[in-house]
Amino acid sequence: MTSIRLDTLTKKFGAFSAIRTMDLEVHDGEFMALLGPSGCGKSTTMNIIAGMERPTSGRVLFGDRDISNVPMTRRGVGFVFQNYAIFTHMTVRQNLAYGLKARGTAGAETDRRVGAIADFLQLTPFLDQPSAKLSVNILQRIAIGRSAIVEPSIFLLDEPLSNVDAAFRAVMRTELKHLQRQFRQTMVYVTHDQLEAMTMADRIAVMDHGVLQQVGTPLEVYNNPVNIFVARFIGSPGMNLLPATLVELGGRLHADLGKAGLSRALTAPLAAAARGQKSRDVWFGFRPEELSVAADTAGLTLAVTFIERIGSRTIAHFDAGGVAVKGVFENDVALQAGSTAHVVAQEQSVRLFDRATGQAIVGD
Amino acid sequence: MSGVTEAPGAAEAGDDARASRKLGLYLTLPAQLLVLFIAVFPLLMQLYISLTGWSPLTGMGWWNAWSLWNSFQNYVELAVDNRWWSALLRTLLVMVVCVPAEFLLGLGLATLFMDNFYGKRAFYSILLMPMMVVPAVAGYMFFMLFQSGGPVNDLLSTLSGQNIAIAWLSNPSLAMVAVMVADIWQWTPLMFLILLAGLVGVQEDQLKAATLLGANWRQRFVTIMLPRMKTIIIIALAIRTIENFKIFDTLYIMTGGGPGVATETISVYIYKLITNDLNWGYVAAIALVILLTLSVALGIAISRMGKASTEVTK
């Protein structure tokens, strides 16, 4: 078992910077999700760890060992491809045995280990079948087993669930997490699906445009996004962000949201942080789930544009003076499209971001 | 009146189906006749002539060949025709040397072209050039190259430091070598092109997966690339085997089948029978035998190769 350290890593493809100065440490035995939209550099990062690409500058360390110059044949990382890259011209057994055979492991030992891993992954009934026509969940298990059999200390997974339909994805998420607990390897999991990252990862590294935005546990990233990109990207729907001006009113700090009205007083720590940074123009952020309908006409005045019922919850779309706001409510919420609503964002959930830099305003 | 009433329109529907079948037949009839004329008619004509002693010298039209009917005498003659058997052996010799050589060279070159190197595009164009040379011109080129005062001997002289003047084309065994060299030169590019297409078609992920599992280049080549190229390899070999069996133009210009009959392949033999002896009934018999043998042999070979390669991967 090994930790992975990326040390001032950069990668350029011609003039395009795929990764800009990235430092990241994945702890021993940790499940780290690399999360970001397409083209954010997460797959490139993964390929550099695997040795398929060379970094333009910077180092990759496994434990204390600099492996920047170790070719991918000898890095010994397990890799599960997006399409699984199963050797479809072989049987399941041959697929599983491939890594051991390539290393020249003895026949009896190979048979024993193939048997063991097939047993563990419930692949035994399929062992002698050609792998070409098996279903996706079996292919996934073959892909994992094929890498796991050589007992790599590091496991990399490149969007392994993106080819699977939604219902199955939920099953496979559980299965993958379960497998990781069993193997206890250091795992890096690339995905653009925040649900996968949130449910499976110990920590999430959010990337955008080749820049590492934030690293933290799923709840840290969800509750305290460091900037407006992470705030919008994490959560479904993402965090609401309204342009606001901070005003002192009766000794307490409020956010003036223009047409939507005035917010409730900010909490003391947040107000202190905002005062400390002398912030005035900010983004006023809150989660759609933290919105509630006000009992009176106090709170924010928003026009209801659209009501979306998704079964368990109701998502209300509001217009706050040209800015779209979403709120997630119980199904029996008394809101109607075309009407005006008075809603309150729960004080503890409010986050402020500097409008000039997009960075979160937080106390020390 | 009976209680059974026919569904309205049922009879009409039946008529419609019949009518549309008829229309279909009429519409495709010209094409079918054309195919019949092109493929079946010459075959039947050949079969007919092959059972006679007909020659254009008799002055009769081929349709009157029945008057020279000799049953299977042409086929019996063929079975004991030493010149035919030697020609067939020579043809097979050229095939077993040239086709594997072209395959291995083509595969080697295609593998080289998987990597990037300086001047790759230029080399690519140059490599394909022999294939585009008219075979007759290629024959003339190699005829000149292999003259005793020609560039091949000059090159050998320079390399060895001795004065070498080998009479390539008038030495019975060396003439065969020269002919084979010309064939390999001209047709390796085709192998290269087909096999390169096959190599490029092997998914990169498969190779990366094998590499990450610790397979070295040789292991990747044997366990991933070759099995995944199985179909295309069979196609390439089949195309070249069929083509090589018919080797004629380059060879004929270089040696004319000589010296003596040293490079006389079946095509050259047939050509001589047609132009010199004008024994066309015999030629028709040979042509039919070749067609049958080649079809059967190739059919067996392809099914064997298919089976063999699935077993290898098991």
ipTM of the complex: 0.78
Q: How far is A10 from chain B (nearest CA, A)?
A: 22
Confirm whether B174 is domain-assigned.
yes
Partner residues linked to A5 by β-bridges: A25, A61
A204 and A245 co-located in one domain: no
With beta carbons less than 8 A apart as the criterion, state whether A3 and A28 touch. yes
Query: What pLDDT is attached to residue B294?
Result: 83
What range does the domain containing B146 cover? 82-278
Do residues A249 and A228 both lie within one domain? no
Q: What is the mean pLDDT of residues B59-74?
A: 79
> What total of structural domains would you count in chain A?
2
Q: What is the DSSP letter of B101?
A: H
How much is the pLDDT for A35? 92
In terms of Cβ atoms closer than 10 Å to its own Cβ (0-12, 13-18, 19+), residue B258 is: middle
- A250 shares a domain with A200: no
What letter represents residue B291's amino acid?
L
Q: What percentage of chain B exceeds 90 in pLDDT?
A: 21
**Nearest CA distance, B186 vs chain A (angstrom):** 33
| CB-based contact B206 A103, cutoff 8 Å | no
Residue in the block written with tokens 């004319």: B256
Q: Is residue B12 predicted with pLDDT exceeding 80?
A: no
Return all residues near B259 (Cβ < 8 A) that are at least 6 apart: B169, B170, B171, B172, B175
B285, B171 Cβ separation under 8 angstroms = no
pLDDT tens figures, A152-179: 888 899 888 887 777 778 887 887 888 7
Whether A203 and A272 share a structural domain: no
Cβ-defined contact of A87 to B206 (cutoff 8 Å): yes
Is there a contact between A73 and B219 if contact means CB atoms under 8 Å apart? Answer: no
Phi first, then psi, for residue B17 (nearest 5°) are: -60, -45
* pLDDT tens digit sequence for B250-268: 999 988 887 888 889 999 9
Q: With respect to residue B295, please indicate whether it lies within any of the assigned structural domains.
A: no
Q: How far apart are CA A140 and CA A70, in angstroms?
A: 28
Rounded to whole angstroms, the Cα distance separating B298 from A106 reads 40
Check if the beta carbon of residue A224 is closer than 8 Å to that of residue A360: yes
Task: Please tell me which residue, A183 or B27, carries the higher pLDDT value.
Answer: B27
Residues of chain B with C-beta less than 8 angstroms from the C-beta of A81: 205, 208-209
pLDDT band with cut points at 50, 70 and 90 for residue B314: very low
Q: Which of A75, A81, A91 sits opposite B205 (nearest CB)?
A: A81
Answer yes or no: do A35 and A147 share one domain. yes
Do A58 and A195 sit in the same domain of this protein?
yes
Q: Do A85 and B203 touch (CB under 8 A)?
A: yes
Instruction: Identify the closest residue of chain A to B311 by CA–CA distance.
Output: A90
In sequence order, the β-bridge partners of residue A217 are none
Both A215 and A269 in a single domain? no
Domain assignment present for B66: no
Q: Give residue A116's identity as a one-letter amino acid code.
A: A
Rounded to an integer, what distance in angstroms lies between the CA atom of residue B103 and that of residue A275?
A: 78
Cα Rg, chain B, nearest whole Å = 27
Chain A residues touching residue B219 (CB < 8 angstroms): 102
Residues from chain A contacting residue B311 (CB–CB below 8 Å): none
Q: Does residue B132 form part of some domain?
A: yes
* Residue B17 maps to a domain: no
Number of Cβ within 10 Å of residue A199's Cβ equals 15
Lowest mean pLDDT among A87-91, B62-66, B133-137: B62-66
Strands A281-286 and A57-62: unpaired
Q: Please give the model's pTM, rounded to 2 decimal places.
A: 0.73
Alpha helices in B133-265 (DSSP H): 135-145, 151-160, 172-200, 204-212, 217-220, 226-228, 230-245, 249-255
Is residue A105, in this structure, part of any structural domain at all? yes
pLDDT of residue A153: 84
Give pLDDT, residue B3.
46
Among residues A190, A215, A232, the one where a domain terminates is A232
One-letter amino acid for residue A350 of the chain: V
Quick check: A72 and B210 CB within 8 A?
no
Residues A304 and A284 in one domain: yes
* Per-position DSSP letters for A148-196, written without gaps between them: HTT--SEEEEESTTTTS-HHHHHHHHHHHHHHHHHH--EEEEEES-HHH
- B176-184 mean pLDDT: 92
pLDDT computed for residue B242 by the predictor: 86
Residues A191 and A323 in one domain: no
A212 three-state secondary structure: strand
Which residues, in sequence order, are bridge partners of residue A345?
A291
Mean pLDDT of B95-109: 94
Chain B residue numbers touching A90 (CB-CB < 8 A): 227, 313
Q: Is the dihedral of CA B207, B210, B211, B217 positive or negative?
A: negative
Domain presence at residue A363: no
Is pLDDT of B198 > 50? Answer: yes
Range of the domain at A284: 240-354
Alpha-carbon distance of B255 to B276, in angstroms, equals 17
- Answer whether B78's CB lies under 8 Å from B286's CB: yes
Give contacts of A97 with chain B, Cβ < 8 Å. Answer: none
Shared domain for A11 and A115, answered yes or no, is yes
Nearest chain B CA: its distance from A287 CA (Å): 40
Interface with B, mutate which of A81, A89, A100 (most B CBs under 10 A): A89
Please report whether residue B308 resides in a domain: no
**CATH number, domain containing residue B175:** 1.10.3720.10
Q: What is the mean pLDDT of residues B192-218?
A: 88
Q: Which of B212, B228, B230 sits opposite A72 (nearest CB)?
A: B212
Q: Does any domain span residue B210?
A: yes
Considering the domain architecture, whether residues A53 and A195 belong to the same structural domain is answered as yes
Question: Hey, is the C-beta of A259 within 8 angstroms of any chain B C-beta?
Answer: no
CA distance linking residue B140 with residue A305, whole number of Å: 84
Domain end among A232, A254, A283: A232
Q: Which DSSP letter does residue A215 get?
A: E
Residue of A nearest to B209 (CA): A85
Final residue of a structural domain among A198, A232, A266? A232
Q: How many CB pairs under 8 A join A and B?
A: 60
| Range of lowest pLDDT (A75-89, B58-72, B180-194) | B58-72
Task: Tell me which chain A residue has its CA closest to the CA of residue B219.
Answer: A102
A284 and A173 in a single domain? The answer is no
Q: Which residues of chain A have pLDDT under 70?
A: 1, 363-364
Mutate to test the interface with B, among A47, A75, A86, A87 (most CBs of B within 10 A): A87
Domain tally, chain B:
1
CATH code: domain of residue A285:
2.40.50.140
Judged on CB neighbours under 10 Å (0-12, 13-18, 19+), A220 is middle
For B132, residues 6+ apart whose C-beta sits below 8 A from its C-beta are: none
* CATH code, domain with A211: 3.40.50.300
